Amino acid sequence: MSDLAQYVLSGLSAGCVFALVALGFVIVANVTGVYNFAQGDYVMVGGMIMVATQTAGWPLLVGVLTSAVAVALVALAQERLTVAPVRRRVGMLGLVIASLGFGIVLRGLALLIWDKDPLSLPSFHDGTFGLLGARLDDQTWFIWGTTVVVLIGVVGLFRFTITGKAMRACASNPTAARLLGIRTGRMSMSAFVLAGAISGTLGAMIVPVSGVSWDSGITVGLIGFIAAALAGFEHPGRAVLAGLGLGVVQSVGAGVISSEYRDAIVYMTLIVYLLGRDLFDADGMIRRIVAARATSRTKRPRRAVSRVPDAGDAVPDGPRFAWPMLVPVVALLLLALAPFFLESGSQELSSATFVVLAAIAATGLGLVMGLAGQFSLGQAAFVLVGGYTVAILTTKHGWDPTAALLAGVVLSVIGGGLIGAMTLRLQGFNLAIATLAIHLSLLVVVSQATSLTGGALGIIGIPTLTVLGLDLADPSDFYWAAMVVLVACLWVARNISGSRVGQALRAVGQDEDGARSMGINPFRLKLVVFVVSAGMAGLAGGLWAFTLQFAAPANWDFTLTISLVTYVIVGGIGSVYGGLIGAVVVGGLEYWIRYHATSGLEGASLQWELIMYGLLLVVFVLFFKDGLARAFKADSVTGGLDRLRRRRTSASGPPGADIPTAAGTSGAAR
């Protein structure tokens, strides 16, 4: 009994952090509509600054205040740089990715300044106290006290002050709020500053209990996001309760089941919640089954196209070569030339191989993000599934390499189908969170299930790939095989993108109601694209295992997901070749940084890579939305010429000389 009290009460401390991070999510989402993926990193930065102030010998209170103010300034900077200037030009997906990029930059900077070892501090006050049979550190009082004070403050702000009410008005209708004289820009700043100050304070308070390291923001942010999602991103009170609950779940799970799996247990509550929503929602599975019962299930027979003659004449079939194709063609040529210039077995060729494999996974991710308009933060999870399937089946069960590779693809596809079925029906960023949660859970599992996966050290002794008797042991032979797979995946992606499925998804992305009215089922199309994407990632993972000849959690961790997302964004989210282009350009840059720009210890370059990724994400999402694929877009050139010409005619000719065009464009504007 006292054990349980111990778990629950100590879980409340972690729960306070999750609760306040969730509160930060809800405040920012409520006022600005942005799901701020950097929220967890605020807590990390707060902790780091607290450690720095204590190392410098500052008083505790000054340290906490400094953390709060510093993180509030960081949040303010984020709002001014990545939200305020662009909120009308960039869609919600863009703002969210920009916040992710900002968080990654923070992680990279933390790694650069404070290095990778976790830091900690002694308790603010030495001693322990007993409560309900549990024994707790005195630090608990500080955490609980801060949480209560913050909660009272926030509730008071939103309920009783004009500013709080104005902030809420901004969320529900920014235009109306502006018409009423509310300065929405200032409210947006306030929301970020408030969320930053809260996270910074708690980040400082929690250091003596859980320590702080450059990547501790990922878990905190994810669990906070889950808590906010459980509250529907709307109710601050419910978000706080959910955060506290998740803290208790984590602590009890750690005590009763296993401390290694404690985070995975929390992530599973998200999966249970999503499953539940899929069952019981207004448009959920149960509702649909009931509706289907009332209706006969017979589908309307497809009517023969009798009223319309079938034209036998040639019809333009898909896009032809055009200048925009220049960029992907150059990228592919660069990859194809690599084996001629790079020595077989060299570091450079193996880097090039990784670029090809990443391009395969990124091509899949590009379909999900560009075509289905969904944000996945778990593409590396499917790579991991493919890689470990190959590793386990070839080394422990003696499977044929090709069969193991296919098994990895099949498992990824099944996994993608299950996750997609749970999340793609719902609006918002559930897919991103669910895939990230599953990836982090899988990483825990492969690190812990030592007998099956070899734990953190991984599985070694994976054989080289043989396909239909063709031995691909030589690195340059393997490289060619990977290139063939990449080209095949690009071809499939292009087919899908140019097909009626691609067109239908583009319609869904712009106006779901309109698409539905034409009989297009958005969920099914998104699911099928997500499954294809998972399959490509699984394929890449399997090949990865064969070329590395070992499988370890670090091969396919969250960093890989960040890389893949960056490739897609930099390459161009609207192009099927975005993943390819991004992989060649950013991947090339990454390996150059790793092996040339930063010499020294393995992993010493991680901070620079993170900062590069974060900055690229922010800059491209906000300012080069179309990515490199559209750098030579035909209509961007001719469009520019048109604009130039129009300016010249209106300057030389009489005003109104170009009325026909003006009328055409104003008609379109309506």
Partner 1 sequence: MSAVEQVAPGTPAPPAAPVLRAEGLRRTFGTFVAVDDVSIELRPGRVTALIGPNGAGKSTVINLLAGTLIPTAGQVRIADVRVEGLRAEEVALRGLARTFQTPKLYEGMTVLDMVMLARDRFGRASFLEIALRTPRTRRDRRASHAAAMAHLERVGLAHQADRLATSLPVGSQRLVDVARALASEPDVLLLDEPAAGLDHTETHDLTALIREIAAEGLAVLLVEHDMRMVMSIADDVVVLDRGRLLAAGTPKEVAADPAVIEAYLGTVAA
DSSP 43-65: HHHHHHHHHHHHHTT--HHHHHH
| 326: amino acid identity, one letter | L
Q: What gap in Å lies between CA 550 and CA 451, rounded to an integer?
A: 15
Closest approach of partner 1 to the CB of residue 288, in Å: 8
Cα–chain-centroid distance for residue 149? 33
* 499 counts as binding partner 1 under rule CB under 8 A: yes
Give the list of residues 6+ apart from residue 132 with CB closer than 8 angstroms, or none.
2, 5, 9
Nearer to partner 1, 262 or 633 (CB): 633
Closest approach of partner 1 to the CB of residue 499, in Å: 5
User: Whose structure tokens read 């878990």?
Assistant: 219
* 659 counts as binding partner 1 under rule CB under 8 A: no
| 285: amino acid identity, one letter | M
Using the contact rule CB under 8 A, the part of the chain among 39-47, 124-132, 351-359, 659-667 near partner 1 is: 659-667
- DSSP secondary structure letter of residue 632: T
* Structural contact between residues 195 and 42, judged by C-beta atoms closer than 8 angstroms: yes
Closest approach of partner 1 to the CB of residue 653, in Å: 23
Nearer to partner 1, 291 or 452 (CB): 291
What tokens were used for 430? 């559930």
Instruction: State the Cα angle at 59 between 57 and 62, rounded to 5°.
Output: 115
CA atoms within 13 A on the CB side of 51: 25
Closest approach of partner 1 to the CB of residue 519, in Å: 4
* 238 counts as binding partner 1 under rule CB under 8 A: no
In the structure, how many helices (H) and strands (E) does the chain have? 28, 6
* 500 counts as binding partner 1 under rule CB under 8 A: yes
Single residue of 170, 515, 562, 629 touching partner 1 by CB under 8 A: 515
Nearer to partner 1, 297 or 397 (CB): 297
Classified as helix, coil or strand, 670 is: coil
* 89 counts as binding partner 1 under rule CB under 8 A: no
Most distant pair of Cα atoms in the chain: their distance: 89
* 506 counts as binding partner 1 under rule CB under 8 A: yes
* 130 counts as binding partner 1 under rule CB under 8 A: no
What tokens were used for 288? 């649909």
Single residue of 61, 162, 315, 651 touching partner 1 by CB under 8 A: 315
Q: What gap in Å lies between CA 119 and CA 523, rounded to an integer?
A: 45
* 397 counts as binding partner 1 under rule CB under 8 A: no
DSSP 483-503: HHHHHHHHHHHHHHHHSHHHH
Closest approach of partner 1 to the CB of residue 531, in Å: 9
Single residue of 360, 504, 564, 612 touching partner 1 by CB under 8 A: 504
Single residue of 116, 125, 135, 516 touching partner 1 by CB under 8 A: 516
Nearer to partner 1, 423 or 607 (CB): 423
Single residue of 131, 180, 290, 657 touching partner 1 by CB under 8 A: 290
- DSSP secondary structure letter of residue 212: B
Q: What gap in Å lies between CA 65 and CA 409, rounded to an integer?
A: 51
Using the contact rule CB under 8 A, the part of the chain among 17-25, 257-265, 519-527, 644-652 near partner 1 is: 519-527
Using the contact rule CB under 8 A, the part of the chain among 47-55, 166-174, 426-434, 502-510 near partner 1 is: 502-510
Using the contact rule CB under 8 A, the part of the chain among 284-292, 328-336, 377-385, 394-402 near partner 1 is: 284-292
Interface contacts to partner 1, rule CB under 8 A:
283, 287-288, 290-292, 294-296, 298-300, 302-303, 305, 307-311, 315, 317, 492, 495-496, 499-501, 503-504, 506-507, 510-511, 513-522, 528, 532, 664-665, 667-668, 670
